[in-house]
């Protein structure tokens, strides 16, 4: 596919879907914490959110530095 723009079109990634599911789980854990005083789901989903953020940013850094997909305009 020939491109005539300086931007990188990203490949499909699981991180947006996993981040949205983890955020939904975080909100459910937040509600559960206020109603039942049980913080297990809240803590688990917070940890999961941080792990997903770490892996998503790791992929962005890998694309930009090692694969060279990010140009100066990006």
Q: How does pLDDT run across 25-55, given as a tens digit for each residue?
A: 999 999 999 998 888 999 999 999 999 999 9
Using alpha carbons, select from 51, 52, 70, 50 the residue that is nearest to residue 60: 70
Residue 39's domain is classified under what CATH number? 1.10.287.70
Q: Mean pLDDT, the chain, as a whole number?
A: 85
Q: What is the mean pLDDT of residues 5-22?
A: 84
Q: 37: which 2 tokens?
A: 């005083």
Using alpha carbons, select from 40, 45, 47 the residue that is nearest to residue 23: 45
Check pLDDT > 70 for residue 18. Answer: yes
Q: How far apart are CA 74 and CA 56, in angstroms?
A: 17
pLDDT score at 71: 64
> Domain range holding 57?
15-66
pLDDT score at 60: 81
38 touches 22 (CB < 8 A): no
When comparing pLDDT for 14 and 3, which is higher?
14
Output the pTM of the full model. 0.75
CB atoms within 10 A of CB 24: 11
Asked, for residue 10, whether it belongs to a domain, the answer is: no
Domain count along the chain:
1
């Amino acid at each position: 596919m020939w491109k005539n723009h300086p931007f990188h079109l990203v490949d499909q990634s699981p991180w947006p879907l996993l981040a949205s599911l983890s955020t939904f789980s975080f909100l459910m854990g937040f509600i559960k914490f206020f109603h039942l005083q049980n913080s297990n789901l809240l803590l688990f989903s917070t940890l999961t959110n941080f792990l997903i953020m770490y892996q998503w940013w790791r992929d962005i850094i890998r694309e930009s530095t090692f694969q060279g997909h990010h140009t100066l305009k990006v």
